[in-house]
Amino acid sequence: MEKLKMRSLNKVDDNIKKIGEQFPNCIIERKNRHGKVEYAIDFDMLKQELSSVIVEGREERYQFTWPDKKKSILLANTPIIKTLRPCREQSVNFDDTENLYIEGDNLEVLKLLQETYLGKVKMIYIDPPYNTGNDFVYEDNFTQRIDKYKGNSGQYDEQGNRLVKNMETNGRFHTDWLNMIYPRLKLMKDLLDDDGLIFISIGDEEVDNLRKVCNEIFGESNFRNQIVIRRGTKSIQAQFETWDKLGQALEYILLYSKNSAYRFPRQMKLLEKVKSGSWNNHWRGTDRPTMRYPLLGVTPQKGQWRWGKERSEVAISNYERMLSEVKSTADTITDEQIDAWYAKQNDTSIDLLRISKTGKPEHYIAPTNETVLNSSWVDLLVGSSTEIAKLFDTAVFDTAKLTQVIQRMLCFTSDDAIILDLFSGSATVAHAVMQRNAEDGGKRKFIMVQLPEQTDEKSEAYKAGYKNICEIGKERIRRAGNKIAQENPHAHFDNGFRVLKCDSSNMKAVYYYPADYNADLFDSLIDNIKADRTSEDLLFQVMLDLGVMLSSKIVQTTIAGKNIFNVSDNFLIACFDKDIDEETITAIAKQKPYYFVMRDSSIANDSVATNFEQIFNTYSPETKKKVL
C-alpha cells in the first residue's frame, strides 16, 4: 500500500512537473539531503531552450520589485508540515454544514488548501491591513525554528501569532507589507476557478503597489476595475489630522478575474435591463412597506417594487430562461432576439417582465442608483460598526465591512459558488452569504480564515468576553444565522459552520524523516502518531492529503467493534483503530470505496496482512489503499 505524504503541496515540485511537460530535456535527477532521488531543473538547458526571448544579465526592462521579493516568492512555494484539526464544540451543525471557519495564519492555511480547493473557488474577497502605520503585518519566517525566532524578535503573542505593527517610521514600511501580501495573492490565484473573481479592499496607502502586484500575479489583462466606495459618514474636515493633505472620503476595491476570457454573468444583463424608473415613481402613488423586499440584491428603503415577491421571482425566472435558451452570448443578445423568443411562447404568463425594443421593462420598477456594473459604488458605505453593534448590543468591532458591500459582489457569482475570505475579521462575508442564500434560495458556501489575533484589553470586545477576533467572528455567524432564520421563516439555507484550527502535523517527526533516526529506536517509535491526536484529527489531515473537500459529508459507523469514517458516500473510508481483523477489512471492501486509509500498524496479525490484498482484489479491486 502507498504511504500518504501528510504535508502541504510542494509548489516547486508542481512547477518542475509543468516545466518538464514542456521541456522534458531540462529535467534532471539528483539526490536530496535524505538520500532520496528527486527531480530538478537544468537551468542552463532551460535558458538555451528560451535563448531567443530570455533577458540576460542586468539588461534594462520594466519590472516592479522591492527588497526580499525573491524570498516572498520562495515562501509561497515552500511546503509546510501542518494540518487542520476539527473543533466540534465551537461549530454549528458540524455534521450537516458545508461552511468552514478556519483559525490560523492565512498563508499556512492557503498552503494546506492547495490540493483540495485548487480551481474550485468562485470568488475571493480580502480586506488586508491597509498599512496606515497602525495596522499589523504578518511576519512570515519559516526558515528559523519557532523558539529561536521568538527569542530574536519578541514579536509573538502567547499563542505564537506572528504580528508586527508596521509603523511609518519603519524603513521597510512598504517592503514589509508587500512581502506579506505577495505570497498570499500568489497562492490565492491557484484556488480560483477559471471563471473566478477576486475583490480586494484597500486604502490610498498601498493601492498603487497592490495594483502592480496584482497585474504581475493575475495579469494586467485580467484587471476588471478599480471600484471606489464611500469611506464613512465622518465629515471631510474631521478627517484632517495634520492639515497637510486633503481628507480621504473614498476607499477602493480592486477587481481581477482569473481568466481574461471572463465575461460578467448574464444576471448582470438582467440588472441592466431593469435599471429604469426610480424610488419616487410608485405604482399608483403608493408606498407600501410590504412591497419592499430583497430582489436582485436590492431592498428599497422607500417606495416599492411594482409587483409582489412571487410574481417578481417568476418574471426573473422567465427572463433568465430566455437568456439561457437564446443561442448567443450575453454580449450579443439583441432586442430583436428577445422579441422573437417571447413571440414563440404559448404560455401567457411567460410575458411577465416583457422587455420592449427600447430596452426598458414595461411592468417593472427598479432604482436609478443601482450601480452593480459601475466602478462607482459610492451609494454604499465601505463599513460601519453600527450593523455588527446591533447584533451584539455593543461595539465589538470598529472596522467591520457592511454586508451590503459583499452582497453586491455576490451578484457576480453563481448561486452555488464557494466564497473565500482570508482576512475574515468580523465575518461580514459569512453573514452576507447566508443572507443572500436565504433571499434567493442559493447554495453558496463560505470559507472564513482568520488569525486568532488578541483583542485589546481596553476594547469593548474584550470587556464583553471576546479574547480574540476569531471568537467575535464565530459568534457573529451564530447570531446572524439565527436572526436571518427568524426573519425568513420559510427560507432554507445553511447557517452552520465547521471550525477547523491550523496546528502542527498529527504525525511525529520520524514519519517524515526516518533516515534521521537510529534504526534501534524504531520499536519505541512504532506509533508514528502524536499521543494527543484523535481519529477525527487524522481523518481531516487525510482529507487534505487526498484532496477531499473539507465540507464533505462524514458518517461514523461501527464494524466489528471498530470505528469507521465514511466520507462522501464511500469516496473515502478510513479506520484508525488498532487490531483490525479480516471481518472489518471484508466489510469495508464490500462497500467499494474509492480510497481506503488505515494506520500502517493497525493490522491485527500476519494472517490478516497476508490476506489483505486478496480481500480487496475479490470485492473491490479498484480501491486505492493508503496507510499512515
What are the DSSP calls for 101-126, one per residue? EEES-HHHHHHHHTTTSTTTEEEEEE
pLDDT at 114: 94
Average pLDDT over residues 468-474: 96
* Greatest mean pLDDT among 86-90, 154-158, 244-248, 314-318: 86-90
Whether 141 has a pLDDT exceeding 60, the answer reads no
To 5 degrees, how large is the angle CA 112–CA 116–CA 120?
Answer: 120
* Greatest mean pLDDT among 252-266, 283-297, 318-332: 252-266
324 or 597, greater pLDDT: 597
The three-state secondary structure class of 396 is: coil
Closest among 190, 185, 181 to 115, alpha carbons compared: 190
pLDDT-derived band at 419 (thresholds 50, 70, 90) equals very high
Q: Which residues have CB under 8 Å from 541's CB, separation 6+?
A: 6, 83, 84, 505, 506, 507
Whether 490 has a pLDDT exceeding 50, the answer reads yes
- 101-135: per-residue pLDDT in tens? 999 999 999 999 999 999 999 999 999 988 766 66
The answer to whether the beta carbons of residues 218 and 189 sit under 8 Å apart is yes
pTM listed for this prediction? 0.78
173 or 174, greater pLDDT: 174
- Strands 624-627, 595-598: pairing kind: parallel
Whether 463 has a pLDDT exceeding 80, the answer reads yes
Whether 383 has a pLDDT exceeding 90, the answer reads no
pLDDT at 307: 66
pLDDT at 150: 40
pLDDT at 135: 61
3-state helix, strand, coil in the chain (%, to 5): 35, 20, 45
pLDDT at 333: 60
Residue % of the chain over a pLDDT of 90: 44
Spatial separation of the C-alpha atoms in residues 239 and 249, rounded to whole Å: 8
Q: Which residues have CB under 8 Å from 181's CB, separation 6+?
A: 128, 206, 210, 213
Whether 356 has a pLDDT exceeding 80, the answer reads no
pLDDT at 40: 83
pLDDT at 19: 86
pLDDT-derived band at 519 (thresholds 50, 70, 90) equals low
- 599-624: per-residue pLDDT in tens? 988 888 888 889 999 999 999 999 99
Spatial separation of the C-alpha atoms in residues 228 and 378, rounded to whole Å: 7
pLDDT-derived band at 61 (thresholds 50, 70, 90) equals low
The secondary structure element, H or E, covering residue 189 is: helix 173-191
Name which of 27-41, 426-440, 511-525 the model is least confident about: 511-525
To 5 degrees, how large is the angle CA 535–CA 540–CA 543?
Answer: 125
Spatial separation of the C-alpha atoms in residues 24 and 22, rounded to whole Å: 6
Average pLDDT over residues 132-142: 60
pLDDT at 327: 54
Rounded to 10 degrees, what is the CA torsion of 457, 463, 467, 473?
-120
Whether 367 has a pLDDT exceeding 50, the answer reads no
Domains of the chain: 9-57 (no CATH), 77-264+373-502 (3.40.50.150), 266-351 (no CATH), 518-627 (no CATH)
- 537-580: per-residue pLDDT in tens? 999 999 999 999 999 999 999 998 999 999 999 999 999 999 99
Q: Which three cell numbers stand for residue 518?
A: 537510529
pLDDT at 144: 38
Residue % of the chain over a pLDDT of 70: 73
Average pLDDT over residues 346-359: 48
pLDDT at 234: 52
The answer to whether the beta carbons of residues 405 and 229 sit under 8 Å apart is yes
Instruction: Name the CA radius of gyration of the chain, rounded.
Output: 28
pLDDT-derived band at 331 (thresholds 50, 70, 90) equals low
Name which of 53-67, 243-257, 383-397, 472-486 the model is least confident about: 53-67
Name which of 178-187, 260-269, 465-474, 527-536 the model is least confident about: 260-269
343 or 591, greater pLDDT: 591
Average pLDDT, the chain: 80
Spatial separation of the C-alpha atoms in residues 500 and 100, rounded to whole Å: 7
pLDDT-derived band at 65 (thresholds 50, 70, 90) equals confident
Whether 273 has a pLDDT exceeding 50, the answer reads no
Name which of 140-149, 212-221, 324-333 the model is least confident about: 140-149
pLDDT at 139: 63
Average pLDDT over residues 392-397: 89
